[in-house]
A and B are shown apart, each in its own frame.
Chain A
Amino acid sequence: MSMVHIGMMQSSSKKVITKEEWEKKLSEVKIRKEDMNRLVMNFLVTEGYVEAAEKFQHESGTQPDIDLGTITDRMAVRKAVQCGQVEDAIEKVNDLNPEILDTNPQLFFHLQQQRLIELIRAGKVEEALEFAQEELAPRGEENHAFLEELERTVALLAFDDASTCPVKEVKELLDNAQRQKTASELNAAILTSQSHEKDPKLPSLLKMLIWAQNQLDEKASYPRINDLVNATLEEPVT
């Protein structure tokens, strides 16, 4: 019994760290400027801000962790998908590295699906039907998930004006977000093929900060940062 009691005592009495004490601890942390530069460079490169990355290399002397030339190609591919020119995007990816699509059937299917969506959007019904039956249906036979996706997409053909489609899951295929989704998937695959992480480090570190703060909350009351953008220290809750 006494053991249980001690356990409860420990969890209920949180250590309180005042703002002053915490600020002292913060000032003892060593942060290297070059690490921050690298973090910013990694963000610019991964998100595809190629010009900004070039300028930053020049202004800060930070070396990018990837050949900047490849960003331009990657962005061209991304933009092609975002503009609905899927065939063009596929061609560009294959120029870049044919293995990307060869080794990634799901991505290839999503690109073909996007191509079908674009045909339907453009009102090319016959062409869309032909494409669906010849290119997509055989893949659907191999994979049940692909088949469901195909059926959902073909449903768009049932509406003269697809914007009147009552089924949300079908209608949203025509949204800009669908293009973004396909573009992001392709972007990530290209980055992975270049042995680069597909996500920038900064957002993960921000998530890690939120997580670390939540973890510490269980043991102590201390000044949190809730507003990440302005990085303002809150007063500790007591």
Chain B
Amino acid sequence: MRGRFSPFDRSERSSSVMFRATLDEEEEDVEEEPTHLNTNTSSLYLVVSTDKLTARYTGDGRHGNDVGAIQANRPAPCRRLLYYFEMTVKDRGEKGYTAIGFTDEHFKNSRQPGWEVNSYGYHGDDGKLYHGQGRGEPYGQGFTTGDTVGAGINYAAQEIFFTRNGKVLSGVYKDVKSALYPTIGLHSPDEKVEVNFGQRKFVFDVETMMLEERGRRQRAVENMPLPPAASHSIVRAFLLHYGYHDTLTAFDAACGAASADGSVDSIALGEFLPKQEANGVNGTIVTNGTSDDDMYALDQRKMLRRLIRDGNVDGVIINLQEWYPQVKEEHYSTIIFLLRCQKFIELVRTGQVEDAVALARTELASFFGKCQDQDLLLHDCLALLAYERPQDSPMAYLLQFAQREVVADAVNAFVLDTNPSMACIGKDGKPPQSALEKLLRQLTACHVEKRFLNGGQGEVFRLHRILQGGKDGGW
């Protein structure tokens, strides 16, 4: 019902990550799988059973254009590691001209899979592999009545593979990048086959193949050489960047204590001191990799973060205006806006509703209609007033700690942005990022790009899921 009063739909909401603690908005990525044969694509020479899983050839099989071929109802799903389906020959008929494979959308139902361009087929009579021409290459054994054969796509390796009675045959490079449909073909009287799109257990152990593929990838990842103590340095720089001062002190103390013990970790840390820090920053000896930029205004940032954490928004505003007079400028109005919203939230939290209303009238109303992201936050803030128990309302996320984190991070970024040395580098208005953030962006971008260059096929890399999930979130 809320939707009626809200001018914003869900997709617009998800765009304003920067201003608000993120709502859970995991994108759906369940792909529909082939489930049965598509009788709309069926050849004239086939009779398909009512469950659309069995096909029988009714033609004469006299020439090259009276094949009985048929596709599955959907293309093989591609946002995954592997796709696989099977076919069992119920009756080889007169000549055993049954075939299994993949075809694209230009498929001809009167031709065997593999004969036409952009198609692949494994043929029962000669056991050959056909790809885009009428002549096959030696591949595996033929198959006949009682045999089960399968066809699969390994998206990680970009390969097509076939199986025969549970044994995998070699993979061939998949040069066709467009969508491929599971396809079968029959071509002599009385031939009858049954397909299995996963409704029943496969004869071939596709799960194990998947595990092996993942295992190979995991071992390859584990074998990558990592500079010792890289994680320590990155964590330390992160704590500095965001001004988590107490954590940083405890972390340094623990690392320093470790070095007194002469433990392996701290020896490694010493070796990897970037040059400029061997001399220390500001006369103090730092224990590992940090840049001056990470140190910038640490005391101020630390204090501002603490004030926000404690709900003291006025304190933040006063300090900011004293330390950074430019905060009053139009360019920086978003930070003031965020802080005022936060103040409003803190008032609602403590039940000072009348003060909250007064604040909204004097200081928030003027921000309406300036930008969409701001309007979204304003809308949700004000909506808190509509509920007797705002902590149980749909806007309850605003009252959680995470929203204070959002504001604290924004204030932190604002202060870092005032660093003159950063300005000289010319960061074209981008918010400063911690090394950890840059690395995670790079990691995601590499996966996205590689997948793009593979024609958008293969598993979608989801950092969030890896971080949330078990050991490796599927990776």
Contact = CB atoms under 8 A, between A and B. Distances in A.
Contact of B475 (A31, A208, A213, A222): A208
Contacts of A30: 17
A159 interface: no
Interface stretch (A35-43, A86-94, A96-104, A123-131): A35-43
Interface stretch (B34-42, B60-68, B250-258, B348-356): B250-258
A51 B22 contact: no
A216 B444 CA distance: 12
Interface stretch (A150-158, A162-170, A194-202): A194-202
Contacts of A214: 224
Interface in A180-232: 180, 197, 200-216, 219-220, 222, 225, 228-231
A56 B453 CA distance: 40
A222 B449 contact: yes
B467 A231 contact: no
Contacts of B420: none
B453 A219 contact: yes
B51 interface: no
Interface string B37-56: 00000000000000000000
A236 B474 CA distance: 31
Contacts of B165: none
B450 A212 contact: yes
Contact of A31 (B225, B250, B437, B468): B437
A61 interface: yes
Main secondary structure, interface of A, reads: helix
Interface in B422-445: 430, 434-445
Chain A residues touching B, range: 35 or more
A52 interface: yes
A162 to B, nearest CB: 19
Contacts of B435: 228-231
A148 interface: no
Given A31-B437, A32-B464, A206-B439, A212 B447 contact: yes
Interface stretch (A21-29, A109-117, A132-140): A21-29
Contacts of A27: 430, 441
B149 interface: no
B404 A176 contact: no
A54 B271 CA distance: 29
A37 B235 CA distance: 10
A49 interface: yes
Interface stretch (B78-86, B87-95, B260-268): B260-268
Interface string A47-75: 00101101110111100000000000000
B449 A17 contact: yes
B281 interface: no
Q: Which 3 A-B pairs have the closest CB atoms?
A: A61-B401, A231-B438, A212-B446
13 contacts: A32-B17, A33-B406, A39-B436, A43-B235, A52-B251, A55-B249, A56-B239, A59-B244, A59-B309, A61-B405, A210-B224, A216-B450, A225-B442
